[in-house]
Amino acid sequence: MSSSGHVLVVNAGSSSLKLTVLGEDDSVLAEHHAERWHGETDPLERFLTRAPGIRAVGHRVVHGGPGFTGAQRIDAGVRAALEQLTGLAPLHQPRALAGIDAVTAVLPRVPQVACFDTAFHATMPAFAATYALPAQWRREWGLRRYGFHGLSHAYASRKAAELAGMADARVVSCHLGAGASLAAVRGGRSVDTTMGFTPLAGLVMATRSGDVDPGLLVWLLRAGVSLDELEDGLEHRSGLAGLAGTGDMRDVRRAADGGDQDAVLALEVYAHRLRQAISAMTTSLGGIDVLVFTGGVGEHDAVLRDDVVNGLSFLGIEHVHVVRAREDLEIASQTRAALAG
């Protein structure tokens, strides 16, 4: 790939679509952001017809499974392998595949690279990645903690360490958006995270439950809840939506300010679980030098940040930073490196 080529970054999230064309100096040449996107290809195709001089395309792909631990140039075999992983990330993987297909239709000769959210966490030690489940299950189905939001955590933790002037900083990175997770990062390497085998685990999210007692799920199944209903409930009707009736933190905050007690409780549950998880990540690091917030909620909800930080004063956190989510820069960097290699 020529060093002067423009890189199109396709970031298809669980509820949004971000398209960015970056120049060789990482300047933004064109961009489009749809806050509500459900996998349709028309907006992407319209953007691609007017995007200038694209020489490569980098895609955010949520799940790389055990086989993809670094950025990978996309061909038919890679695409098929990604589709096989859909069950592990049903909200995200179909959207990434839709983006890949749309780019292929409009720019069939431009090389595409898949950049994985799971890859950043491939450095976690075995004791942090292993579930205490029967060995046969773990071997047969590859059960382990993968972690997600790795592209965001990689960028935010590196940027926060730079801002703190600490190259080997112990950083707890908080990616808080529609999906939410934390990462414990030491010297630029992930050593622990809150999500697990799927993006359902960990923190309370917009519509996802986060951690729940596995025995409770077994109880619900035995009580007559179907597998499809259980999956839908955990993925789409839990989290803030289950507690306050909406998954939008801005609406929850406004309702709480207006005296809605369900919304008040939702904010308290969200912040409580977040403080717990930051403390756990700090334990994995043996201390904390830098706490960084990123993502839509992390960047824009100052009340939440203050509540969380004040509740963690016992940790003695010296550096707290807010970093704008720039997965596009991380994806562009990985795309160039993959094609140069």
**Could you tell me the pLDDT band of residue 14, with boundaries at 50, 70 and 90?**
low
Distance CA 60, CA 72 (A): 11
Q: How far is CA 101 from CA 14, 40, 174, in A?
A: 17, 11, 31
At the top level of CATH, which class does the domain 150-322 belong to?
Answer: alpha beta
Annotated binding site for Mg(2+): 327
The domain locations on the chain are 6-116, 150-322
* Domain at 6-116, CATH homologous superfamily: ATPase, nucleotide binding domain (3.30.420.40)
Q: Average pLDDT for residues 24-45, to the nearest whole number? A: 83
Contacts (Cβ under 8 Å, ≥6 apart) of 45: 102, 105, 106
Q: Read off the tokens for 49.
A: 């017809």
Cβ contacts of 125-132, under 8 Å, gap ≥ 24: 125/191, 128/191, 128/192, 128/284, 131/196, 131/197
Distance CA 288, CA 191 (A): 13
Find out whether 147 and 193 touch, Cβ atoms under 8 Å: yes
User: Is 70 exceeded by the pLDDT of residue 140?
Assistant: yes
Please spell the DSSP secondary structure of 83-97, one letter per residue: HHTGGGSTTTHHHHH
**Could you tell me the pLDDT band of residue 39, with boundaries at 50, 70 and 90?**
low
Annotated binding site for substrate: 60
> 117, 289, 301, 328: which one is catalytic?
117
Annotated binding site: 60, 175-179, 248-250, 296-300, 327
Q: Which residue has the higher pLDDT, 74 or 167?
A: 74
Asked whether this chain's domains 6-116 and 150-322 adopt the same fold, the reply is: yes
Q: What pLDDT sits at residue 80?
A: 97
How does the average pLDDT of the chain come out, rounded?
A: 93
Q: How far is CA 331 from CA 146, 154, 158, 208, 262, in A?
A: 19, 10, 14, 25, 39
Residues 227-263: tens digit of each pLDDT: 999 999 999 999 999 999 999 999 999 999 999 999 9
Q: Read off the pTM.
A: 0.91
Contacts (Cβ under 8 Å, ≥6 apart) of 333: none
Residue 117 annotated among the catalytic residues of the structure: yes
Annotated binding site for ATP: 175-179, 248-250, 296-300
- Which residues does residue 49 pair with via DSSP β-bridges, in sequence order? none
Find out whether 34 and 20 touch, Cβ atoms under 8 Å: no
